[in-house]
């Protein structure tokens, strides 16, 4: 989390710290996240001896069409969490 976001969160907390609990009864918080299914941007490294490059353990499958991802959304309130939804 960036320092800018941390500062905003502290400011928000200070602003609302003395609000009565009942003021949160009609507030819904939400968030969304994107999950990559294939081609996660992470390098994998392995050490091989000469001539081992074609062994099954050394071959990694790829997806040429760009993979895919899932975007999910969820909301929560003082009373609990909602259902996780796919966008």
Interatomic CA distance for residues 70 and 79, integer angstroms: 27
> When comparing pLDDT for 69 and 5, which is higher?
5
What does the pLDDT read at residue 79?
85
Which pLDDT band, with edges at 50, 70 and 90, does 64 fall under? Answer: low
Average pLDDT for 39-56: 72
Q: Tell me how crowded residue 75 is: count the other CB atoms within 10 A of its CB.
A: 14
Give the pLDDT mean for 53-71. Answer: 73
**What pLDDT was estimated at residue 49?**
81
Mean pLDDT, residues 27-48 taken together: 77
| Spatial distance between the Cα atoms of 82 and 87, rounded to a whole number of angstroms | 15
Q: Which two tokens stand for residue 51?
A: 């001539």
Give mean pLDDT, residues 5-32: 90
């Amino acid at each position: 989390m960036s320092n800018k976001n941390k500062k905003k969160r502290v400011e928000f907390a200070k602003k609302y710290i003395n609000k009565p609990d009942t003021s949160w009864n009609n507030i819904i918080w939400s968030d969304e996240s994107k999950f990559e299914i294939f081609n996660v941007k992470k390098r994998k490294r392995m050490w091989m001896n000469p001539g081992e490059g074609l062994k099954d353990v050394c071959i990694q499958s790829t997806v040429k069409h760009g993979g895919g991802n899932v975007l999910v959304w969820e909301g929560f309130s003082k009373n609990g969490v909602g259902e996780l939804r796919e966008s």
